[in-house]
Each structure stands twice: as structure tokens, then as C-alpha cells.
Chains A and B, each alone.
Chain A
């Protein structure tokens, strides 16, 4: 049931009036809440021009916000660059023919999926600061990246396995029948197809990673959130600082998810273009339907 128009009849004149009344009422409620918030803000002095002026000065951006965005993106990029190959390796191990290897990989993946990212970050950070060889300046970054890598590698491993599982069995059988070994089939036939199909969800996993870098503020990593907190104590403008930080996060993540959507629709088009006989969206390229179960994809986004 994808089109929501099926849920209700096309409104007649009376229903249209009713809908309009409902819309006006909620709009009024919405406006009332907004006005109340603004009054509170004004009373607290958060609407004064001098609380917002800092954002018009270039120096605020170069001292706080741009380094903050840099810190956030740096941690996110390092994390995805390490996590994706690690996820690939884990997925290979988890699909291995040797049972003990499979078990070890499964325990690793299930463990790090169950443990909160923040717990891993806190542990790594404090563990590092105890070691003599560690460079204090780098500890927060390493802590953030370690937590993100362990969690996201495990999640992406499952995404890749889902992708492989959704390939038609003919792919594997054809590979075996031309004399490839199971490892060769996996490496040169199954994984490449799963990965291409996986691209959109790899990109949208970036949204999760960018959001989770904000956890770094708890272990003193200089990300956008930490910098905005510094900014807010420098100009005592808590509300404006948090609003600007939220807007920046939303802009970054929204554009990443738009890129993922574009990739996905391009893939769908390509599949349709090459697909001769399409049974349930599976073209001869063998990539069946949406390779990622939409439910699975939704749940990796939390």
C-alpha cells in the first residue's frame, strides 16, 4: 500500500470544509506554541540582537563553527573508510565454510551490535589516556573513531550479508557449475553484486555516523557540538548556538541522504533498462528488487 490516497475518499465539499477547519485549528495551535516559545526566548534575552550577531561575524565561524564541522566530518570520514573494508572482511568470515571462523565472526558482530557506541567510546578514551605511549591530543579522536568503526562495521557486515542473501540462487549455482570454488564464487560473483546494490545504504549509513560523532562531545572531542557549546558560553547565547548547530547537522545529513536517494533511483533505472524479463524486479543482472529490505534499512538509521 504505497499510495496513501487509498486511505481516504476524494473529499467532497463537506469533507473539504472539515479538513480546512482542522488545518486552521492545528495551524493556530502551532502558531500559539511558536509565539509562546518566542515570548519565553525574549524574556530570557535570547532574541536580543547581540545574541545573534556573532553568527554574522566571520571570526565566529573560523574560531568555532568551521573547525567544529571539520572535526565532525573528519571523524565520520575516517570511521567510514575503516569500517567499510572491515565490514567486507567480517561478512566474508561470517559466510565462511569453516564453522569456527563463522562462529568467531558472528560473536564479534553480535557483541558490537548490542553494545552502545558511547560505552565503546568511553572505554577506548579512558583506556588510551592510561597508556604511556598515547598522545593525549589524539585520544578523543581515536576514541570516537574506534567506537564508530566497531559498531558500523558490524552493522554494515549484516547489510552486506542481507545483500548477498537477496541475490537469486542461480548466480551461485552458475559460478559453481563453471568450476569456481565457493570462496571464488563469493568473492568474484556474489559480493561485487551485493556491494553495488548496497551503495545507497552505505551512503545513508554515513548519516548515522555523522549523528553519532556528536557522542564525542561526551569524551571531549572537538566536534560541532562541543564547539557550539564553547560558542554558547563565549557569547552566552545558548538557544541561538544550539539552533545553528542543529541546522548545520540537518543540512549535512539531509544532503547525504539526498545523495543516497539519487544513487538508489539511478540504480533502479539502470536495472530496469537492462532488465529483459523482470520477475519481481530481478533483472538478468541478478540484483533482485531493492537489495536491502526497506525494514532493515530503516533500522540501521537509528
Chain B
């Protein structure tokens, strides 16, 4: 088993998986928060835009989005998030395109997680902030969003777990992460097929288990006492 790990750089592959997860988590959290604010805002057009974004993205397969990032975004629209002079141009390019696809997809779920977090806040909180004379933006910043994030830890954590698993889709545009490693291992060491699978599968259990535990610990710790 150690020999397998060595031969196919399993640790490197999982490091790429972790990097994909962290970057996409960051960007999808930012984008998702913006979309959530749009969906809560008093401006009708923004609400509509945010709602359409969520409906469209949630109903599209992630594979399609990621493949389109490579073929469409880069191939047709010429969006090139890496420099051609760099010796690792192709690797950087595919990695960053995958991060774009993953972030765009998971932002829709982050938005819905935040909205469910907003739904845990009693009406009185918003009414009180309005009666103090806070504007929509001030109320959001000081009253609604801090509580919404704390109430949304569980769904946000679950989104993070799903994101970790979904990074495997990046194999579709040739990012060398865990699923890519599995395909290589199966191709060159077909004699230990099941071991190959278990190695990668257990890697994902190790990655997702702590996230789940940390989520439930944080959720109970940060829950707003009412």
C-alpha cells in the first residue's frame, strides 16, 4: 500500500483536492453571500437576478459547468486566468478554471444555506433594528448577517463536505486530483483494483469526517442562545 502511495503520488493528488476545496470554498462563500444579499434586498430587480441565478445553477449538472469553463470560458470567451509564460501554464489554467466552475456552482448552495440561516432569526430582531432607524445595509451588517452565519453553520458545513467530494469532477478537465490519481492507479496497477479504490475512498472519508465533526461542534458552540 505504501508502495502504491509512493508510486502514484497519492498525497500530491489529495493536496490538490484540498487546495481546490479551500479556494472554491472561499470564492463560493463570497459569491454566495453577495447572491444571498441580492435575494434579501429591497430592490426588485436584484431579488429577481439572485433568484434566477440560484434556480439556473442549481438545476445544471456540475460536470457541464466545469467542462464549459474549459471549453467555453477559456476556449471561446478567451478568459485566461493563468500566465502563458509560467512553466506550469496548463496545470494552473485547468486548476483555476475548475475553481471558477466549482465556486459558481456552490455559491448557489451557499446562498440557500444563508437564507435558511436568516430564517432562524426571530422577526423581532429585524423589527427592532428597523425601529432603531438602521437602514437595510446597517441592519444586515450589524443584526441579520452575523446571526444568519451562526445559524447557517450546519448547512454551510454540509455544503463544504459536498464541495470536497465534488472537486473530483475537475478530472473532467484534467486537474490531477484524487479521481485522476485513481484512474492512473487503475490503469497501471489493475492487479490491485480494490486496494486502489479503498485507498482513495478512505482518503475522502478522512477529509470529510473532521469537517462534519467540526461543523456540529461549531454549530452547537456558536448557536445563538434564545
Q: How far is the CA of A41 from the CA of B73 in the complex (A)?
A: 11
Q: Given known contacts A118-B179, A119-B179, is B59 in contact with A250 (CB within 8 Å)?
A: yes
Q: For the complex, is B86 an interface residue (Cβ under 8 Å from A)? A: no
Q: Which residue of B49, B68, B168 contacts A26 across the interface (Cβ within 8 Å)?
A: B49
Check if A302 sits within 8 Å of B166, measured CB to CB: yes
Q: For the complex, is A235 an interface residue (Cβ under 8 Å from B)? A: no
Q: How far is the CA of A214 from the CA of B55 in the complex (A)?
A: 18
Shortest Cβ gap from A168 to chain B (Å): 23
Check if B72 sits within 8 Å of A238, measured CB to CB: yes
Cβ contacts under 8 Å, A27 to chain B:
45
Within 8 A of A (CB), among B1-48: 40, 42-46
Cβ contacts under 8 Å, B59 to chain A:
207, 211, 249-250, 253-254, 257
Q: Which residue of B61, B144, B155, B208 contacts A225 across the interface (Cβ within 8 Å)?
A: B61
Check if A217 sits within 8 Å of B63, measured CB to CB: yes
Within 8 A of B (CB), among A203-237: 207, 210-215, 217-218, 225, 229, 232
Residue of A nearest to B171 (CB): A218
Check if B72 sits within 8 Å of A211, measured CB to CB: no
A to B contact number (C-beta, < 8 Å): 180
Cβ contacts under 8 Å, B136 to chain A:
7-8
Q: Given known contacts A30-B49, A130-B190, A249-B61, is B166 in contact with A40 (CB within 8 Å)?
A: no
Q: How far is the CA of A225 from the CA of B200 in the complex (A)?
A: 26
Cβ contacts under 8 Å, B77 to chain A:
37, 40-41, 44
Cβ contacts under 8 Å, A19 to chain B:
42-44
Within 8 A of B (CB), among A1-59: 1-2, 4, 6-9, 11, 15, 19, 22-23, 26-27, 30, 37, 40-41, 44, 46
User: 0/1 per residue, B184-213, Cβ < 8 Å to A?
Assistant: 001100100110110011001100110000
> By the criterion of a CB under 8 Å from any partner CB, how many residues of chain B are at the interface?
71
Q: Given known contacts A116-B166, A217-B172, A299-B158, is B45 in contact with A239 (CB within 8 Å)?
A: no
Q: For the complex, is A282 an interface residue (Cβ under 8 Å from B)? A: no
Cβ contacts under 8 Å, B200 to chain A:
119
Check if A8 sits within 8 Å of B193, measured CB to CB: no
**The stretch of A88-96, A120-128, A177-185 that contacts the partner chain:** A120-128
Shortest Cβ gap from B217 to chain A (Å): 17
Check if A44 sits within 8 Å of B76, measured CB to CB: yes
A-B residue pairs, 5 tightest by C-beta: A214-B61, A302-B162, A253-B59, A299-B158, A116-B165
Residues in chain B within 8 A of chain A (CB atoms): 40, 42-46, 49, 55-56, 58-64, 67-68, 71-72, 75-78, 106, 109, 112-113, 116, 118-123, 125-127, 130, 136, 139-140, 144, 154-155, 158-159, 162, 165-166, 168-169, 171-172, 178-179, 182-183, 186-187, 190, 193-194, 196-197, 200-201, 204-205, 208-209
Contact sample, A vs B, 9 pairs, CB 8 Å cutoff: A1-B121, A6-B123, A225-B64, A232-B71, A239-B72, A249-B59, A250-B59, A295-B154, A295-B155
List 19 extra interface pairs beyond A119-B197, A126-B187, A242-B71, CB under 8 A.
Answer: A1-B126, A6-B123, A6-B130, A8-B139, A26-B46, A44-B76, A114-B201, A114-B204, A115-B205, A116-B165, A118-B179, A122-B179, A127-B194, A211-B59, A218-B63, A246-B68, A249-B59, A302-B158, A302-B166
Residues in chain A within 8 A of chain B (CB atoms): 1-2, 4, 6-9, 11, 15, 19, 22-23, 26-27, 30, 37, 40-41, 44, 46, 111, 114-119, 122-123, 126-127, 130, 207, 210-215, 217-218, 225, 229, 232, 238-239, 242, 245-246, 249-250, 253-254, 257, 294-295, 298-299, 301-302
